[in-house]
Amino acid sequence: MTKEIDLLVEQIDVRKDELIELLKRLIEYKTPAPPARNTMEAQQFVANFLRENGFSIDMWDVYPNDPNVVGFLEGKQADTFNSLIINGHIDVAEVNEDEKWEANPFIPIVKDGAIIGRGASDMKGGLAGALFAIKLLHEAGIDLPGSLTFQSVIGEEVGEAGTLECCKRGYTADFAVVVDTSDLHIQGQGGVITGWITVKSSQTFHDATRRQMLHAGGKLFGSSAIEKMMKIIHGLQELERHWAVMKGYPGFIPGTNTINPAVIEGGRHAAFIADECRLWITVHYYPNESHEQIIKEIEEHLLHVAKADPWLRENPPTFVWGGKSMIVDRGEIFPSLEVDPTHPGVKQLASAHQGIINSKAVVDVSPTVTDGGWLGAAGIPTAIYGPGNLQNAHSVNEQVSIEQLIEYTKVILTFIYEWCHTKRT
């Protein structure tokens, strides 16, 4: 590390109250999702902050009153030095009225060495630390040779993938850090996809015809879609057990790849045999798998299950996978993300961590999901690294340790400086 960056790192301790106030300011913006459509003021604050620190701004609505903000700082020697994306989401988990917070979750308080408020851990702490690092670099008059992009996105909590919209807009870099909740671990992640499985009869039948469908001599080829869905659920359970036996990934407890039958909807009226049943499932899969592969495995297995049943053979299940929003179309995709510990960006981030915290960086996998998978799917080498832990994310009295927030800010400042001062190989 150069003397220049040493002095800036020291400034974080001296000016820690400014860092705390910045995080408190971000928490004060009420951006829970659901209900969403409430991030405009917070995003305007981020845009103004970045603009004041030398960034050009691209701001556009992903949904009404829910804009993405991308700040871009072109490197002085952008053609030859590494570029970097810092990515984080401005939306936070919902708050229910009956939750027993110490204070208003959007009026943050400092207590026992922590900042308490909705989003402190997931993940306005990560945004605040990165923004403060950018401010210190700008105030010091440091011209980064490599380009720096800062993405403050919407919709992560409800699968609306503001990060995907950034990728579609063409933003890319040599490396990306998603500053989401990781307890200062450098992480990859598994993936998640939701799907709707539908069993539907081509005909409707009166409730009084049920005996003819079930008993000898009835001669009515029909069935309850609800009862046939029971066979589909049993088939999913068999596949889930098979995966648990046959699949694994370092860092995950065996059987983490699950198929959850989350919601079931069926039937139209008590006077009808149920002619339709829909099952909403959530599937978790490993970092070395894709959602396309998972879809293929589930559909093939369930169609084989259907072929073994006379009625399902004629009325096979149909599938709708993923979606753009848990609010709008009740579906989502979070692609998986594998982290290569030998990638120069990962190694440099680990080195910055060790230099600041005096302990070896942990490179592992997150048990949850972030938008990092979208960056990885776009071909950008990506890692998750941020303050806060999952015990606090989404919790009542959500909080982040001030000490960890300061450590993270020092690491991310150091990494931005060093990565953007490294020649592209």
Where would I find the beta strands (DSSP E) of 234-374? 259-266, 276-285, 318-321, 333-334, 363-366
**Which alpha helices (H) appear in 3-120, and where do they start and end?**
3-14, 16-28, 40-52
Q: Which of 28, 66, 122, 156 is catalytic?
A: 156
Q: Looking at 28, 91, 183, 371, which residue is catalytic?
A: 91
356 contacts 409 by C-beta, under 8 angstroms: no
Burial state string for 337-358 with b = 16 or more CB within 10 A and e = fewer than 16? bbbeeeebbbebbbbbbebbee
Nearest-angstrom CA–CA distance, 417 and 144:
7
The rounded distance, in Å, linking the Cα atoms of 103 and 294 is 43
For residues 119 and 398, what is the distance between their CA atoms, to the nearest angstrom?
7
Q: Is 371 a catalytic residue?
A: no
Distance CA 388, CA 94 (A): 18
Instruction: Give dist(CA 204, CA 8) in Å, integer.
Output: 72
91 is annotated as an active-site residue: yes
Q: Which residue has the tokens 């105030």?
A: 139
| Residue 299 buriedness (CB in 10 A; 0-12 / 13-18 / 19+) | middle
As annotated, the active-site residues are 91, 156
